Amino acid sequence: MDAISEVDDEIPEVAEQKSVYTWISLDTNDDFDKLCAYIDPEYAPGIVSDFLKNGLSPAVKAVLVEANYVDKDYRSTYYSFYSKKGLYYRSDCVRLHFFDQTVHFDEASLRLSYERAYAGDVNFTDHYFGYMVLRPTGVKTIGRSLINADVVLGAEGRVIDALHKVHVLGYKLLVRGFPWMQQHSDISRCAHAACWAILRHYSERFPSYPERLVSEITMMAHPVNSGGLVPSLGLNVLQAERVLLQAGAFPLRIPRDDMLACDTSFYRQLTAYVESGFPVFVSLPEHAIVIVGYRWRDDVSPNNAVCRHAWDEVQHLLVVDDTQMPYLAIPKQDPPPDNLYSAEGDIDAFIVPLPEKLFYPAEAVEQQVAALFEFHGFLELPSEAESIVRYFVTTGAAFRQFVRANESAYDLNLLQAIMEIPFSQFIWVVEIATEADWRAKTVTARAVLDASASVTEVVPLWLFQTVGKALVFNREQVGVAAIDSMKELEFAGREGFVLTRMEVNLRGSNIKE
Amino acid sequence: MKGTKPDPQKVEELRKKISSVVPQVVKAVEDRERLAAASRYRELEGLKKKNQSAATASSEDARKQP
C-alpha cells in the first residue's frame, strides 16, 4: 500500500479537461471567430473560421464543436504516415456540426432540442446542415466534410448529392451533400482530394462501391505498393484514371481537342454526364477539381438558327475544389482575375467514372441527335434550328418512376408500353424542347436510347414520343434494325397535355438566408 | 407489343436518311479515343522521364557513397 501511495504522490495534477461538446450560438457570421477559444491551434481554427465566415449563409445559427473525434480518413493517414514522423501529431480530430436557429443544446444532459419537438419523433434532419472535420495537421486542416448546398453562399443551381448518415450524441442525423476536403498538401494533393470526393459520394450513393479511405486512394495511384505513404507532388490524369479504375468504376477519359477553336462537343458531353448525376473529375492546368452541378441561364440563349444544346443554357458550373468552399460557381468564359478559372478557358480534360453496362457514350448520342430530327415524318417535331436538346443517362427504373409520377400526361397504351419495354439498366434520355418549352420546363419530344448499345447500331431507340404520338421499338432480336420493328401509337384527346422536363438526377439547391 | 406498323415507304425513306449516321458516330467516338490515347501516351512518357531522372540521381548518389 505504501508503494502505491508513493506513486500516487508523483502523479501531477490533471489539467482541467475541456468539455467534449461545446455549443456556439451565432448571431452573425463573425461569431465563427469564437471557434478559436475552444479549438487547439494545431487544428488552425482561425483559418477555418475565415472559411466559414465567408462561405456559409447566415441560416447557420449554431455550431456544435465535438472534440476527440475519431475520423476514419484522418486515422488512415495517421497510421500510415503521420505517426511515423518525428514531429508529434495527435490522432484525434475535431468535428463541427452546423444547425439552424430552431435547434438548441442542453449542456447538462448533452441533449439537442428542437423548438417544436414532439416526444419520440424528433427529426433534426431539416435543421442540420452537415459537418466539417478538422485534422490536427497545422496546415490545410479541413478534412472530411459534408455540407448541404442550401447553406453555401453562391451554390445556386442543381447539384449532385446524396443522403449521408451522421451519428452524434446518440442521434442519427441525415444530411444531403457532396463530400469535400482540403488536400493534406504532403501525402495528398488536389487530385487525391478530387478522387476521394467522387469515391466517397459513390460509396454513400451506390451500395456496390466500397468505401475508400484517403490513405488507400494515395496508394491506388501507383502501380506498386511502396509499403507506406510518401509525400506526393500530385497526380496526372493517368494516375487519377487508375485510382477510379481500381475503385471499381469504369472511367471514361475525354480530352479537349486543342486543334479546334472551341470544342463544343467536349462541353456538350461534359454537361450530359453531369446531368446524368456522374460527378466529373476535371483536369485544369496544375490543378484538379470535381464538377458536381450547374445552373441554367435565367433566360434561354440567343437563337443563332442552329440547334442549341444544354451546354448553351448553362450559366455556370458548380465545382468541388479543395482550395475553396464546396459548390464553387465557375463561369463558362470569364477568366481571372474576376474568377479563379473558367470552364471554356481552363478545362483540359475530364474523366467520368461510369458504371458497368454503359457502353454508349455521350459523343455517340450527340451524333444521333441529327438522326432523331429525321423522324419528323412520323412525329411533330420542331426544326433543329428552333430546338434546344438535352440528354442524360438514367436507369430504366427511374424512368418508369418518373412516368408513374406524371401518369396523367400519358395515354394508357403508352403507359403500358413503357412499363413492358425490357429496358437495359441504363438508358439515355434525349429531350427536344422549343424556347417556350424550355422556359416552361416542358419538352416537345422525348427519346429513349439503349445506353448498352454498340456505337455501330443505327439509332438504338426504345421509344420516341410526343404528347400525341409515340414510336415504340422492339429490341428483343439481334439482327433486326430498330426501324423495322417500329410501331406507332397515336393518342386522341391529348390537347392541353404537356410533357414535363425530366430532372431526376440532380437536386435544385435552395439557398437559405 | 401494341401499335400499328407505319407505312413501309416512309420507313424506307427514313432508313436512307438515318443510315449515314453510323459512320459519323463511329468516327466521332474513335477520334476522341485517339485523343485520349495520345494524352495517355504523353503522360506515360512524362512519368517515365521523371522516373529515369530519379533513378539516375539515386545511382549517382550510390556511387558517391564511401
Q: Quickly tell me which residue has 422525348 as its cell.
A: A446
- pLDDT at residue A2, rounded to an integer: 44
Alpha carbons within 13 angstroms on the beta-carbon side of residue A481 total 13
A473 to chain B: closest CA residue: B1
- Which candidate in B20, B35, B43, B45 is best for mutational testing of the A interface (most A CBs within 10 A)? B35
Give the CA distances from residue A57 to residues A27, A99, A114, in Å, rounded to whole numbers and listed in that order. 12, 12, 20
> At residue A473, does pLDDT exceed 60?
yes
Contact A472 B29 (CB under 8 A): no
Average pLDDT, chain A: 90
Q: What is the DSSP letter of A152?
A: B
Q: Give CA–CA dist A278/A362, Å, rounded.
A: 12
Question: What band does B63 get if pLDDT is binned at 50, 70 and 90?
Answer: low
Q: Pick the residue with more confidence: A333 or B1?
A: A333
Contact B28 A366 (CB under 8 A): yes
Residue A465, beta-bridge partner list: A446, A470
Of A117-126, A287-296, B17-26, give the lowest mean pLDDT range.
A117-126
Q: To which H or E segment does residue A509 belong? A: none
Question: What band does A17 get if pLDDT is binned at 50, 70 and 90?
Answer: low
What is the distance in angstroms between the Cα of B54 and the nearest Cα belonging to chain A?
14
B15 to chain A: closest CA residue: A483
Question: What band does A144 get if pLDDT is binned at 50, 70 and 90?
Answer: very high
A121-124 LR contacts (CB < 8 Å, sep 24+): A122/A171, A124/A99, A124/A171, A124/A173
Residues in CB range of A219: below 8 A, 6 or more apart:
A225, A226, A229
Contact A236 B19 (CB under 8 A): no
Q: Evaluate the CA torsion angle A163, A167, A168, A172 in order and state its sign.
A: positive
Torsion of CA A43, A49, A54, A57, to 10 degrees: 110
DSSP string across A402-434: HHHHTGGGS-HHHHHHHHHS---SEEEEEEEE-
Of A54-58, A136-140, A266-270, A343-347, give the lowest mean pLDDT range.
A343-347
> At residue A201, does pLDDT exceed 90?
yes
Which chain B residues touch A if contact means CB-CB below 8 Å?
1-6, 10-11, 13-15, 17-19, 21-22, 24-26, 28-29, 31-32, 35-36, 38-40, 43-44, 46-47
What is the distance in angstroms between the Cα of A15 and the nearest Cα belonging to chain B?
50
> At residue A296, does pLDDT exceed 90?
yes
DSSP string across B14-65: HHHHHTTHHHHHHHHHHHHHHHHHHHHHHHHHHHHHHHHHHHHHHHHHHHH-
Phi then psi for residue A253, to 5 deg, are: -95, 130
Residues in CB range of A8: below 8 A, 6 or more apart:
none
Average pLDDT over residues A410-433: 94
**Contacts of residue A488 in chain B, CB cutoff 8 Å?**
3-6
Question: What band does B51 get if pLDDT is binned at 50, 70 and 90?
Answer: confident
DSSP string across A40-94: -GGG-HHHHHHHHHHHB-TT--EEEEEEEE--HHHHHHHHHTGGGSSS---S-EE
SS3 A367: helix
- pLDDT at residue A1, rounded to an integer: 41
Torsion of CA A13, A19, A25, A28, to 10 degrees: 60
Q: What is the DSSP letter of A218?
A: H
Contact B14 A361 (CB under 8 A): no
- pLDDT at residue A485, rounded to an integer: 87
Of A128-132, A270-274, A447-451, A496-500, give the lowest mean pLDDT range.
A496-500
CB A48 within 8 A of CB A34: no
Q: Give CA–CA dist A197/A175, Å, rounded.
A: 16
Contact B17 A367 (CB under 8 A): no
Q: Give CA–CA dist A103/B17, Å, rounded.
A: 63
In 3D, which of A98, A95, A93, A130 has the Cα closest to residue A29?
A98
Cβ atoms within 10 Å, residue A260: 10
Q: What is the DSSP letter of A15?
A: P
CB A460 within 8 A of CB A359: no
A495 Cα distance to chain centroid:
38
What's the grid cell of residue A452? 448498352
- pLDDT at residue A113, rounded to an integer: 84
- pLDDT at residue A5, rounded to an integer: 46
> At residue B24, does pLDDT exceed 50?
yes
Q: What is the ipTM of this complex?
A: 0.81
What's the grid cell of residue A284? 485544369
- pLDDT at residue B61, rounded to an integer: 66
- pLDDT at residue A6, rounded to an integer: 47
Average pLDDT over residues A299-315: 92
- pLDDT at residue A34, rounded to an integer: 94
- pLDDT at residue B66, rounded to an integer: 54
A442 Cα distance to chain centroid:
25
Of B6, B35, B38, the CB nearest to A378: B6
Return left, alpha or beta for A211; rule: phi > 0 is left, psi -120 to 50 is alpha, else beta.
Answer: beta
Cβ atoms within 10 Å, residue A57: 16
Residues in CB range of A285: below 8 A, 6 or more apart:
A346, A348
Average pLDDT over residues A155-168: 95
Residue B6 identity: P
Q: Give CA–CA dist A14/B52, Å, rounded.
A: 55
Average pLDDT over residues A393-414: 94
In 3D, which of A491, A233, A286, A271 has the Cα closest to residue A380?
A491
A33-38 LR contacts (CB < 8 Å, sep 24+): A35/A63, A35/A65, A35/A96, A38/A65
Residue A412 identity: L
What's the grid cell of residue A154? 453562391
> At residue A83, does pLDDT exceed 50?
yes
- pLDDT at residue A15, rounded to an integer: 47
Give the CA distances from residue A470 to residues A181, A321, A457, in Å, rounded to whole numbers and listed in that order. 47, 44, 21
Q: Pick the residue with more confidence: A409 or A452?
A: A452
What is the distance in angstroms between the Cα of A374 and the nearest Cα belonging to chain B?
7
- pLDDT at residue B62, rounded to an integer: 64
What's the grid cell of residue A385? 434550328
Strands A507-508 and A158-159: antiparallel
Q: pTM to 2 decimals?
A: 0.91
Average pLDDT over residues A251-280: 94
CB A278 within 8 A of CB A206: no
Average pLDDT over residues A152-157: 94
Q: Is it true that the peptide bond before A353 is cis, omega within 30 degrees of 0?
A: no
Q: To which H or E segment does residue A163 belong? A: strand A162-168
